[in-house]
Amino acid sequence: MHLGLKDSKVIVTGGASHIGRAIVLALAAEGANVAIVDIDKAQAERTAERARARGAADAHVVAADLTDLDAAERACQEAMQRLDGISTLISNAGANRPDFFLKLDPKGWRRTLDLNLTAVMCCTRAVLPAMIDGGGGAIVATASTAALGEQRQSVYAAAKAGVVAFVRTIALEYGRHGVRANCVSPGLTLPEDAESLGAQSLWNDRDAVMNDAQTDYVVKATPLRRLSRPEDIARSVVFLASPVAARQITGQTITVAGGFAMR
């Protein structure tokens, strides 16, 4: 199926590593023009180079710490300038160090909320006027199965539940302007390999994120008995970004977790 993404203008936040990298490369295979907004400039440049080789119309890099909301706004404006417009925003940036609620430092709550929720709001606010002026566009945000509630994920879960509610509301408010807004909700998704991670990725300390015993629990609790891979998430994101395949889809959340959320 022709997805209608060739020469489209797409911003991918957190596009340097892991799931974000897979999203960038999947868009590249469709011939999209991509701007990677990420704190890890070196890894973003490597991903951009791979994207061009994969078939991207072009791939740009804008370095920014999205927990700095002014920087997030500036980064999106720069990305739109580099792209000469905007078709799609993929709000993918996010991170979490799981632990039980009483073990979490309250000083860290703000960064978790800012990166996983407030940055989504800020980037959406930055691109919406241009989408409206251009007759529409697509917003796809990365949520999480944790949004349904999950042990060791309290603040992160609250942030991701907020993302789902926020995106649904954007779909309601701006659909009349041709803006579609949806979420993809991954479960546990392990990195492909070291090459897919930048130096600043939390996954470099695998045990701090999800150790082997915890991973085994997730696999056994998943009906399909396998974990998602980054490209599984990327395919769903590209589907929702498509103005052809997902033309009438808005306000929805696609869970890509092998059935884990049904447990």
- Give catalytic status of residue 174 as yes or no: no
Instruction: Give yes or no for a contact between 113 and 121, defined as CB atoms under 8 angstroms apart.
Output: no
Burial of 157 per CB tally in 10 Å (0-12, 13-18, 19+):
buried
How would you classify residue 251: left for phi > 0, otherwise alpha for psi between -120 and 50, otherwise beta? left
Which residue among the candidates 156, 166, 203, 239 is catalytic per the annotation? Answer: 156
CA end-to-end span of the chain, whole Å? 33
- The long-range contacts involving 215-220, CB below 8 angstroms and separated by at least 24 positions, are 215/188, 215/190, 218/187, 218/188, 218/260
Active site residues: 156
